[in-house]
Amino acid sequence: MNIEGKRSSGILLHFTSLPSEYGIGDLGPEAYHTADKMHKAGATLWQVLPLGPTGYGNSPYAQRSAFAANEMLISPEMLYRDGYLTKEDLLHPEFPEAKIDFRAVEEWKIPRLRKAAEKALKKEKEAIAAFRKKEAFWIEDYALFMVIYDKYKDARWHSVWTKKEGLRDRKTLAQIKKEKKDEIDIYIALQYLFQKELTALKNYMNKEGILLIGDIPIFAAADSTDTWSHLELFKTDADGHYSAVSGVPPDSFSPTGQLWGNPVYDWKRHEEDDFRWWKERIRRNLELADIIRIDHFRGFDAYFEIKAGAKTAEKGVWKKSPGRKFFSSLEKEMGRLPIIAEDLGWITPSVKKLRDDFGFPGMKITQDGFTWDKEGCLNTYDDFLPHNFTRSFVAYTGTHDNETVRGWYEKKSDAEKHMIREYLSSPDEEIVWALIKAIMMSNADTAIIPMQDILELGSEARMNTPATCNDRNWTWRMKKDAFNDYRIRRFAFLSRISGRNGMTYEEHERL
């Protein structure tokens, strides 16, 4: 999103996908090197996926907390630089180069993170105390939640924990806080260390003229700190069990719809305290990023509610949400906000009006624009084709839920490939960059390209397949030096000729 109304370009690359010898991308040196390369490429936006601690399935959209950050993104190299780890601590096993083995990473990294946190508690006691006070709305609950999670190796507080732990009995929690004070302090110190590293990286990016785009999943996970500590904000039955869950009806991704399983909000309770939980969530995420994308934005107009216990999302109903009241109150307190509205799927006029009335740009996924009419010809009137884009949108080749362009194209029929080549005026071998160019040259104010497409990778680099849970989702990593001078120059050229980087021709020649 370009806040100032200028044309801009950016790259979609989650931090976990950065090269790293420690098994998972992080906020260390490779993040800085990548920011330098993005600057050379003329990119002024770096978009990532949600930064929260991930739960079952390692999905960043299934977070343990809507406020906390993923400790696995803390850089061992930065911890060594700051004196929290030794050189011996950095010795590591052989990790896969092009994918994440989450279990292996956690087994190696968690003990080192704990060691660093213990040292930080002594070395930066006052700074951690100030951070703890500043983030009091959420951080105590998160640390306590994670301590109990560690006890059971399970976050299902509503079914695995004791009833007193799950329903937050005061005496029970007070006893845990007393007995596990050191463990709680470690989790808080880790959040501080993450914030310290991210703030340094973001400041560096900003000096390079790059803004960080974060991401907010609209719903909270059933087994999260948020539901445990604020159960009153979610729809439950008389026994305190979730009475309804979220999802989307059948669509092109899934013939039975998507049963997300996240509990739905009791919006009346949110209205009673003027949306405090949501306001705190927005504030927190704007500490983590310069701009935030709200996933499933249409949920602020209406959400798809499915009865708890249903096996599919086929039988559900749309329920209205007080999005207009929320954003009006939020804007009154914080002014016009840098928000991108993920408005994909079945979007009604009321969703569009809510989006437009608050000045939030929507999204265009170019892969979705290649549809065919009854005669089997390309539907040139499709809103998702680049020549039909209007200014107030962020345009993508695809997102984390899509195939890479190469993988998408290879799965098309010969007839469809022929029409795609004709539309893009491109041979097979240049189809990816031709689609990138079409987006960059479009009227959309902002163009963001997944790194996998800049690298021209195939299906092996797909980030996620919706409605599936397997050991391939969320695991892709970029190989070191894959984002090389050739690809930087190609992107820089498109950024310049499409007027998306603010650089002159001479400035580009000097890079």
Active-site residue set: 295, 342, 401
Measured in degrees and rounded to the nearest 5, phi and psi for residue 192 equal -65, -45
**Distance from C-alpha of 424 to C-alpha of 411, rounded to nearest angstrom:** 17
100 near 107, Cβ under 8 Å? no
**Distance from C-alpha of 127 to C-alpha of 193, rounded to nearest angstrom:** 10
Please give the full DSSP string across 151-199, using - where no structure is assigned: HHT---TTTTS-HHHHTT-HHHHHHHHHHTHHHHHHHHHHHHHHHHHHH
Token pair recorded at residue 187: 């989790």
Token pair recorded at residue 508: 């580009």
CA distances from 171 to 137, 164, 406 (A): 21, 9, 57
331 near 324, Cβ under 8 Å? no
Long-range contacts of 119-127 (CB under 8 A, 24+ apart): 119/83, 119/84, 120/84, 120/189, 120/192, 120/193, 121/185, 121/186, 121/189, 123/83, 123/84, 124/192, 127/192
Rama region for 5: left / alpha / beta (φ>0; ψ in -120 to 50; rest): left
Pairing of strands 446-450, 244-248: unpaired
Q: Other C-beta atoms within 10 Å of 81: how many?
A: 12
CA dihedral sign, ordered 194, 200, 204, 210: positive
Q: From the DSSP assignment, how many helices (H) and strands (E) are in the chain?
A: 19, 12
* E strand or H helix that includes residue 263: strand 258-263
306 near 229, Cβ under 8 Å? no
Q: Other C-beta atoms within 10 Å of 215: how many?
A: 26
Adjacent-strand bridge partners of 12: 47, 450
* E strand or H helix that includes residue 362: strand 362-365
CA dihedral sign, ordered 161, 166, 168, 170: negative
* E strand or H helix that includes residue 365: strand 362-365
